[in-house]
A = this chain, B = another copy of it.
């Protein structure tokens, strides 16, 4: 098996490196590559190379960009007094899709996680602190409502509040369209705590 299966097994090994892709799915993907027309597979290989070589982190917000500074940071239409702190570049896209936020972003590229050995200095924290000039009036913590997300938000708030900048957090509550029946107690508790007037 070694000899003939090698490039295929190797390809599966590479796919298995994606978080959430198990060995079986990785093998399936490897076979799917083999079943693709040659030019399609080469386009995929090329797209990986291009994304990695052409994209870098925005000098200001650390999101991915093709240039020196990303489009949002460069835009004159964005409100420079609010910075929304997120865990990863994907979160920027998610928030942009709401069309509700017109400020700037800051991507941490991770969350503080003692269990995984991730400390604050492995995240883009100093880049955030360097941005906090007089223009900035509010920093919104938009990290996930998980233990790591909480810990990171608390840690940053402790650093930012003393600078006299308002530090806020995304609201907790029931997901829209969900049923009360399926909400866990903690969410329900938070939804109650955060109840608003009608």
Residues of A within 8 A of B (CB): 1, 3-4, 6-8, 10-11, 13-15, 17-19, 27-36, 38, 40-52, 54-55, 64-67, 70-71, 88-90, 93, 109
Contacts and interface: CB of A to CB of B under 8 A. Distances in A.
Contact of A45 (B18, B49, B66, B71): B49
Contacts of A70: 4
Residue of A3, A7, A31, A71 with highest tally of chain B CB at under 10 A = A7
B42 A11 contact: no
A40 B14 CA distance: 8
B71 A4 contact: yes
| Interface residues of A, dominant DSSP | helix
Given A71-B1, A90-B27, A90-B31, A55 B7 contact: yes
Contacts of A4: 55, 64-67, 70-71
B41 A48 contact: yes
A28 B40 CA distance: 20
30 contacts: A3-B71, A4-B55, A4-B71, A6-B66, A7-B47, A7-B54, A7-B55, A8-B64, A10-B51, A11-B47, A11-B48, A14-B40, A14-B43, A14-B44, A17-B40, A17-B44, A19-B32, A27-B90, A34-B51, A34-B55, A38-B52, A41-B48, A41-B49, A41-B51, A41-B52, A42-B48, A44-B48, A45-B48, A45-B49, A48-B48
